[in-house]
Amino acid sequence: MAGKKLTVAVIGGGIGRAHIEEGYALNADRFEVAALCDPDAARRDAVADEFGISRRVASFEEVLDMRDVDVVDICTPPFLHFDQVRAALDTGKHVICEKPLVGSLQQVDALADLETRSRGRLMPVFQSRFGDGVQQVRRLIDAGLCGKAFLATAETCWQRGAAYYAVPWRGKRETELGGTLLSHAIHTHDVLTYLMGPIASVSGVTTTRVNSIETEDCFSASGTFASGAPVSLAGTLGSRTEFTRLYLAFEQLTVESDIHPYDYSQRPWRIVPASDEVRTAVETTLAGWQTVPPGFASQFRLFAEALASDRAMPVTTADARRALELVTAVYRSSELGKRVALPLAAGQEGYAGLLQ
């Protein structure tokens, strides 16, 4: 059921521009972007002109007063997310919010609680789950073809230098809320746990070696999934060859992702079966595959479908919690020099803030 088009206000014209181009414009039967909010007048006008958006405002509060706006899409710097999501849910609007949703488990739990009392629903952005490569592996797992999980590794080796960190909110604890674990590898680790399930314990090291910033730009961690399989994570912002790579070893097959740093979700992943029998089962399961558009296009379409049918969001507040929990655990482990067990509940160290 398509229902009426959702009227959207985009807050922040940075990645917000990509949300419009790659998300809403490709689902024009479901969404109309009616307003753009950004205090930066030049950016606001440039993006609004490009996409023919007539309502342009500088203040977030003005958007909350727009009665016809169904969805507030928050694409502002991380330190603003908690207050803006809360205010939008308080007015009963639906909310899409960029990663990281917020800066602590306490805040994510507060939003989850508010969501149960609001007319509005909340969807955090984790667009890397969508695309053929990831979704085909997910289909094989759901079909029960993979067998016991043996091991997974995830590497997020990108390059970010002085120009990237010249943007004032980046690289600072107060405003970015964390470093590359929170801002970049969070996507890779969301894909990893989406496929492999939650991580049960982790031991990690974070450090700042590439840039002159407050937050970490290199990390490594090892741990175990709830299934018992070991996991290894690594990332740097100082890699001359940029890549994202996931490797999943199961009893019945092994999986290697494409290694394009950002488009790995869509491109074909290498699936190596343990036998001819498994190969046939894989081919049968994936026969007639319908392409899953990557990124915002699929995530936003599924958001509209979830609202229309009162189904679960394609990415939930619980997913954002799981992602924040892993970041919190690695930060705590690095600081304390010991293994940290998950899940982290209210009252445990790190619950109230990512960086102590």
Ligand X SMILES: NC(=O)c1ccc[n+]([C@@H]2O[C@H](COP(=O)([O-])OP(=O)(O)OC[C@H]3O[C@@H](n4cnc5c(N)ncnc54)[C@H](O)[C@@H]3O)[C@@H](O)[C@H]2O)c1
Considering the complex, what minimum distance in angstroms separates the CB of residue 47 from ligand X? 9
Among 34, 125, 213, 221, binds ligand X (CB under 6 A): 125
Residue closer to ligand X (CB basis): 15 or 259: 15
Within 8 A by CB and 6+ apart from 116, the residues are none
Does residue number 167 form part of the binding site for ligand X (CB under 6 A)?
yes
Residue closer to ligand X (CB basis): 70 or 98: 98
DSSP H/E element including 96: strand 94-97
Does residue number 12 form part of the binding site for ligand X (CB under 6 A)?
yes
Q: Where are the alpha helices (DSSP H) in the chain?
A: 15-18, 41-51, 60-64, 81-90, 105-117, 132-142, 162-165, 173-176, 180-183, 185-196, 276-286, 295-309, 317-336
Task: Determine the interface stretch with ligand X among 10-18, 88-96, 301-309, 346-354 (rule: CB under 6 A).
Answer: 10-18
Considering the complex, what minimum distance in angstroms separates the CB of residue 40 from ligand X? 4
Angle, vertex CA 14, rays to CA 8 and CA 16, nearest 5? 20
Closest to 124 in 3D by CA, of 104, 103, 95:
95
Task: Determine the interface stretch with ligand X among 32-40, 111-119, 299-307, 317-325 (rule: CB under 6 A).
Answer: 32-40
In 10 A of CB 38, how many CB atoms? 26
Does residue number 260 form part of the binding site for ligand X (CB under 6 A)?
no
Give the phi and the psi of residue 315 in degrees, each rounded to 5.
-130, 130
Considering the complex, what minimum distance in angstroms separates the CB of residue 350 from ligand X? 20
User: Which parts of 289-348 interact with ligand X (CB under 6 A)?
Assistant: none
Put the strands of the sheet holding 340-341 in their side by side order. 270-273, 253-256, 238-250, 149-159, 230-236, 218-225, 199-207, 340-341
User: Which parts of 45-84 interact with ligand X (CB under 6 A)?
Assistant: 60, 75-78, 80
Task: Determine the interface stretch with ligand X among 39-47, 268-276, 317-325, 334-342 (rule: CB under 6 A).
Answer: 39-47
Does residue number 217 form part of the binding site for ligand X (CB under 6 A)?
no
Considering the complex, what minimum distance in angstroms separates the CB of residue 9 from ligand X? 10
Closest to 51 in 3D by CA, of 96, 89, 9, 109:
9
Does residue number 98 form part of the binding site for ligand X (CB under 6 A)?
yes
Please report, as ranges, the residues that interact with ligand X according to CB under 6 A. 11-15, 37-40, 43, 60, 75-78, 80, 98-99, 125, 127, 167, 183
